[in-house]
């Protein structure tokens, strides 16, 4: 082992040019042509169908693909395994910052108090409840640790108690494809009910009779949520009534209930349009009612309280959304009434409904705020927060007849906190600040800085480092971003990142265009034919950190996952010299091929995000940045690429092909490591501790490149 570690160290010191010969994937040309442009994909053969992956007798192609993935894992191990001691140290540090015994703040719903607990040494939660009307003992609803026994992966969803509090529905996913089998438990006896729903998408909603349940199904090939059924407990699933079938392949379905539990809601959504249907919870024989028919470029969401529907909508040019109201049976848009007009300087994110108050989660100047409106006198005010950069969002509020708002608060310096705010008196009651053993806030500093990017736009970056961090251009630094789907990466607390900060690293979160941090226009400026802004923003943020002496290109690392993995691939094709190393998790890198293939999961309803490459303008633009298509003969940074064999969001073959093509073309001797978890999917390993092993591996990769003499 010492000789292996020494050999690894010699590699880092330059005494040895490279590791043992990396895997060489076979090349089988696969030619396609669109709009007169020919593309040759030498690694198309790596793509397997679900049938091939699930077959008990793998065919020759499956054997070849698995053999290649195993070779890559083995090759990565040659570098990573000698650093196992460092990985173990990092893992132990991260675990030590997690309270072994932990319990959520209880919330009340329908006469019960609900909590979630973790026990020492256990990876998964345990769900409890206790009756409010009597001095009852806490009742164990579900122990996910028991469900996970003997499983390599365990995902649990669809946890829902019936309106009469006597039955529990829950779903399990043991493959990490986000396909759940739903089971039922009799809470009076503790026994399982002899019934199940196989192959659901996860979400369920109980009808008011406690015997019917609505559930969501996926298309088995595309994994698009496309059907909603109504099931009667005890009846065969084959006899379930199809309540809604979304035939438009660009729309995806969601299922839930309104805040007052009076309506079951089905939402059909795409990037630029939405349509909601509702049915009274107590109606177990009726059909869904259309709230407002879908229209191009009209996005809306609905909720209900005290006989009024609340509608968040971008109708009539309300780019940052406005809030309107409507009545059941009279919900056509021309009957809606404006409650909160749209503003250019504030974007409505969400609302919480109470009998006497309305709370609006607004995004102002790149930060989330909480606006409280008294429904009686219409007076309003904003809750104040202690940090200059933070995240505040509405928490679990299941009881409308109260003056107390529960919200969650966090910042880069503040662990996740649960706060009860009295909307009448303005008093705050901090119910919980997540316990982080060994953490001292006073040891660290955080700041929000603004990078001026290529077109003059100011892009915010949240930065954190340990006090004493010198801005002399020499410190190592990790920069993270996402930048797609309008998803905002708000500043929050990460206990794992302190393993880098305590070693002198800085960490930054770049709020690049493609998210919605600065409002809806921020998103519009980073999608479709503006997508290149996302990539140049990130590189410009990296350059800003270098110019301002936070780091230098020999010590700067970048990380992104999924669409953020696409970001990584595009950025290093544009300016590879900016980075010492890059970590790309489950990266969406073969953009053109995937968006051209309607059979691949999640493709069709993402055309409004990336563009429809069946149209020449979008095809050519997409081709200009697609990481896989733009790999060329040049030097690339050190790279660690990860994926999951069972990934349902970004199929494993995208990063596999990308790595093979990089190996074929890159002209450097830098590291290119590829790890494919053969047991997991898009979200990686399950369990609160197990998932930290990958983080420890990633940090060890970074540390080994900046500190060649680090323990290994």
> Which tokens is 644 given?
């999951």
The SS3 of residue 49 is: coil
The Cα 193–Cα 166 span in angstroms is 12
Q: Is the pLDDT confidence value at 171 over 80?
A: yes
Integer CA distances (angstroms), 154 to 5, 125, 404, 562, 691, in order:
35, 11, 35, 21, 12
The Cα 706–Cα 700 span in angstroms is 10
pLDDT (0 to 100) of residue 12: 37
The Cα 287–Cα 207 span in angstroms is 13
pLDDT (0 to 100) of residue 641: 98
Q: Is the pLDDT confidence value at 710 over 80?
A: no
CB count in 10 Å sphere of residue 26:
11
Which residues carry out catalysis? 562, 647, 682
The SS3 of residue 354 is: coil
pLDDT (0 to 100) of residue 552: 98
Q: What is the dihedral of CA 611, 616, 620, 621, to 10 degrees?
A: -30
Strand arrangement of the beta sheet that strand 347-353 belongs to: 347-353, 357-364, 367-374, 380-382
Query: What percent of the chain is modeled with pLDDT above 90?
Result: 85
The Cα 412–Cα 447 span in angstroms is 9
Integer CA distances (angstroms), 694 to 87, 541, 566, 706, in order:
9, 26, 20, 19
Long-range contacts of range 329-338, CB-CB < 8 Å, 24 or more positions apart?
A: 331/291, 331/292, 332/292, 333/292, 336/311
Map tokens 């410009």 to a residue.
Answer: 540
> Which tokens is 573 given?
């094709």
pLDDT (0 to 100) of residue 444: 98
Q: What is the mean pLDDT of the chain?
A: 93
pTM of the predicted protein model: 0.91
Closest C-alpha among 197, 286, 348, 353 to residue 277: 286
Query: Exposed, middle or buried, 338 (CB in 10 Å: 0-12/13-18/19+)?
Result: middle
> Which tokens is 636 given?
């690339």
DSSP state of 443: G
Average pLDDT over residues 41-64: 94
The Cα 314–Cα 299 span in angstroms is 6
Read off the pLDDT of residues 597-616 as tens digits, 9 standing for 90 and up.
988 877 777 888 999 999 99
Going from the N-terminus, what domains does the chain have, and what CATH number goes with each?
Answer: 2-10+29-96+439-706 (3.40.50.1820), 365-435 (no CATH)
pLDDT (0 to 100) of residue 67: 96
Q: Is the pLDDT confidence value at 526 over 90?
A: yes
pLDDT (0 to 100) of residue 608: 87
Identify the H or E element spanning 380.
strand 380-382
Computed over its alpha carbons, how large is the radius of gyration of the chain? 26
pLDDT band at 711 (very low <50, low <70, confident <90, very high): low
CB count in 10 Å sphere of residue 122:
18
pLDDT (0 to 100) of residue 17: 40
- Residue 604, Ramachandran bin (φ over 0: left; ψ between -120 and 50: alpha; else beta): alpha
Check: CB of residue 381 under 8 Å from CB of residue 369: no
Tallying the residues shown for the chain, one arrives at 712
CB count in 10 Å sphere of residue 506:
23
Closest C-alpha among 392, 382, 289, 379 to residue 349: 392
pLDDT (0 to 100) of residue 683: 63
DSSP state of 462: E
Closest C-alpha among 560, 574, 444 to residue 512: 560
The Cα 650–Cα 472 span in angstroms is 39
Q: Is the pLDDT confidence value at 368 over 80?
A: yes
CB count in 10 Å sphere of residue 258:
18
pLDDT (0 to 100) of residue 263: 98
> Which tokens is 176 given?
């990490």
pLDDT (0 to 100) of residue 133: 85
Residues in contact with 186: Cβ distance below 8 Å, sequence separation at least 6, in sequence order: 166, 167, 192, 193
Read off the pLDDT of residues 336-351 as tens digits, 9 standing for 90 and up.
999 999 999 999 999 9
pLDDT (0 to 100) of residue 10: 33
Query: What percent of the chain is modeled with pLDDT above 70?
Result: 96
The SS3 of residue 120 is: coil
pLDDT band at 14 (very low <50, low <70, confident <90, very high): very low
pLDDT (0 to 100) of residue 604: 78
Average pLDDT over residues 399-420: 97
pLDDT band at 85 (very low <50, low <70, confident <90, very high): very high
pLDDT band at 704 (very low <50, low <70, confident <90, very high): very high
Residues in contact with 190: Cβ distance below 8 Å, sequence separation at least 6, in sequence order: none
Average pLDDT over residues 503-518: 97
pLDDT band at 708 (very low <50, low <70, confident <90, very high): low
The Cα 300–Cα 278 span in angstroms is 14
The Cα 396–Cα 383 span in angstroms is 17
pLDDT (0 to 100) of residue 712: 44
Check: CB of residue 590 under 8 Å from CB of residue 213: no
Q: What share of the chain is helix, strand, coil (3-state, %, to 5)?
A: 25, 35, 45
pLDDT (0 to 100) of residue 341: 97
Report the relative pairing of strands 477-480 and 556-561 from DSSP bridges: parallel
pLDDT (0 to 100) of residue 680: 73
Read off the pLDDT of residues 527-546 as tens digits, 9 standing for 90 and up.
999 999 999 999 999 999 99
Q: What are phi and psi of 636, to 5 degrees?
A: -120, 160
Read off the pLDDT of residues 218-257 as tens digits, 9 standing for 90 and up.
988 788 899 999 999 999 999 999 999 999 988 999 999 9
pLDDT band at 709 (very low <50, low <70, confident <90, very high): low
Average pLDDT over residues 449-459: 97
Q: Is the pLDDT confidence value at 182 over 70?
A: yes
pLDDT band at 9 (very low <50, low <70, confident <90, very high): very low
Number of helical (H) and strand (E) elements in the chain, helices listed first: 14, 38
pLDDT (0 to 100) of residue 7: 34
Q: Is the pLDDT confidence value at 637 over 70?
A: yes
> Which tokens is 14 given?
């330059």
Identify the H or E element spanning 676.
strand 672-677
Q: Is the pLDDT confidence value at 276 over 70?
A: yes
Q: Can you list the positions of beta strands (E) in 281-365?
A: 289-290, 300-305, 308-313, 322-326, 337-340, 347-353, 357-364
Read off the pLDDT of residues 678-698 as tens digits, 9 standing for 90 and up.
887 666 666 778 889 999 999
Q: Worst-scoring range by mean pLDDT, 144-148, 210-214, 610-614, 646-650?
A: 646-650
Closest C-alpha among 410, 416, 435, 545 to residue 490: 410
The Cα 594–Cα 602 span in angstroms is 9
Read off the pLDDT of residues 278-298 as tens digits, 9 standing for 90 and up.
999 999 999 999 999 999 999
Burial 528-544 (b: 16+ CB within 10 A, else e): beebbbbbbbbbbbbbb
């Amino acid at each position: 082992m010492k000789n292996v570690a020494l050999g690894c160290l010699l590699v880092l010191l330059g005494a040895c040019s490279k590791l043992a010969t990396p895997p060489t994937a076979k090349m089988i040309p696969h030619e396609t042509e669109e709009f007169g442009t020919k593309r040759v994909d030498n690694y198309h053969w790596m793509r397997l169908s679900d049938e091939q992956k699930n077959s008990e007798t793998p065919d020759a192609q499956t054997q070849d693909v698995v053999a290649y993935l195993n070779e890559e894992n083995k090759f990565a191990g040659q570098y990573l395994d000698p650093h196992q001691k460092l990985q173990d140290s990092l893992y132990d540090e991260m675990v030590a910052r997690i309270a072994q015994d932990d319990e959520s703040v209880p919330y009340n719903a329908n006469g019960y108090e609900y909590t979630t607990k973790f026990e020492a040494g256990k990876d998964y939660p345990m769900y409890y409840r206790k009756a409010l009307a009597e001095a009852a003992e806490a009742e164990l609803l579900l122990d996910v640790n028991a469900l996970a026994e003997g499983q390599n992966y365990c995902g649990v969803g669809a946890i829902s108690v019936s309106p009469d509090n006597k039955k529990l529905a829950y779903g399990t996913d043991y493959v990490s494809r986000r396909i759940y089998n739903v089971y039922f438990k009799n809470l009076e006896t503790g026994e399982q009910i002899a019934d199940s729903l196989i192959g659901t998408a996860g979400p369920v909603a109980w009808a008011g009779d406690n015997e019917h349940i609505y559930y969501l199904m996926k298309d088995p090939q595309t994994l698009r949520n496309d059907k909603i059924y109504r099931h009667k407990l005890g009846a065969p699933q084959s006899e379930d009534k199809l309540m809604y079938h979304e035939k438009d392949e660009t729309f995806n379905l969601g299922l839930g209930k309104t805040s007052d539990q009076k309506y079951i809601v089905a939402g059909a959504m795409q990037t630029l349009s939405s349509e909601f249907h509702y049915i009274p919870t107590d109606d177990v024989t009726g059909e869904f009612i259309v709230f407002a028919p879908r229209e191009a470029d009209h996005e809306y969401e609905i909720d209900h309280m005290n006989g009024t529907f609340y509608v968040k909508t971008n109708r009539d040019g309300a780019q940052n959304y406005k809030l309107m109201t409507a009545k059941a049976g009279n919900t056509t848009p021309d009957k809606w009434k404006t409650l909160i007009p749209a503003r250019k300087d504030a974007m409505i994110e969400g609302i919480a409904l109470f009998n006497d108050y309305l709370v609006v989660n607004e995004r102002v100047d790149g930060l989330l705020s909480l606006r409280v409106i008294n429904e009686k006198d219409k007076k309003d005010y904003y809750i104040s927060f202690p940090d200059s950069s933070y995240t505040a969002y509405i928490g679990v509020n299941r009881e409308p007849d109260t003056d107390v708002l529960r919200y969650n608060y966090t910042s880069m310096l503040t662990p996740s906190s649960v706060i009860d705010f009295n909307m009448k008196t303005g008093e705050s009651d901090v119910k919980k600040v997540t316990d982080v053993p060994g953490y001292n806030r006073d040891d660290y500093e955080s700041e929000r800085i603004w990078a001026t990017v290529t077109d003059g736009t100011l892009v915010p970056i949240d930065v954190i480092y340990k006090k004493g961090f010198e801005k002399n251009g020499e410190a190592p630094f990790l920069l993270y971003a996402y930048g797609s789907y309008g998803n905002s990466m708000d500043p929050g607390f990460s206990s794992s990142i302190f393993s880098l900060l305590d070693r002198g690293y800085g960490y930054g979160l770049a709020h690049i265009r493609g998210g919605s941090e600065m409002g809806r226009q921020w998103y519009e400026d980073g999608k479709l034919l503006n997508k290149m802004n996302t990539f140049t923003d990130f590189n410009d943020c990296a350059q800003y950190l270098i110019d301002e002496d936070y780091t230098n290109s020999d010590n700067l690392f970048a990380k992104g996952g999924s669409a953020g993995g696409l970001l990584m691939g595009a950025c290093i094709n544009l300016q590879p010299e900016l980075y010492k190393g890059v970590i790309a998790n489950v990266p969406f890198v073969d953009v053109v091929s995937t968006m051209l293939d309607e059979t691949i999961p999640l493709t069709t309803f993402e055309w409004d995000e990336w563009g429809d490459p069946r149209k020449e303008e979008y095809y050519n633009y997409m081709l200009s940045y697609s990481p896989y298509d733009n790999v060329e003969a040049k030097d690339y940074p050190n790279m660690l690429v990860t994926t999951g064999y069972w990934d349902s969001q970004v199929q494993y073959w995208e990063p596999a092909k990308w790595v093979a093509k990089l190996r074929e073309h890159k002209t450097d001797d830098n590291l290119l490591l590829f790890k494919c978890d053969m047991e997991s999917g898009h979200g990686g390993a399950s369990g609160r501790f197990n998932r930290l092993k990958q983080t420890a591996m990633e940090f060890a990769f970074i540390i080994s490149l900046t500190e060649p003499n680090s323990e290994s």
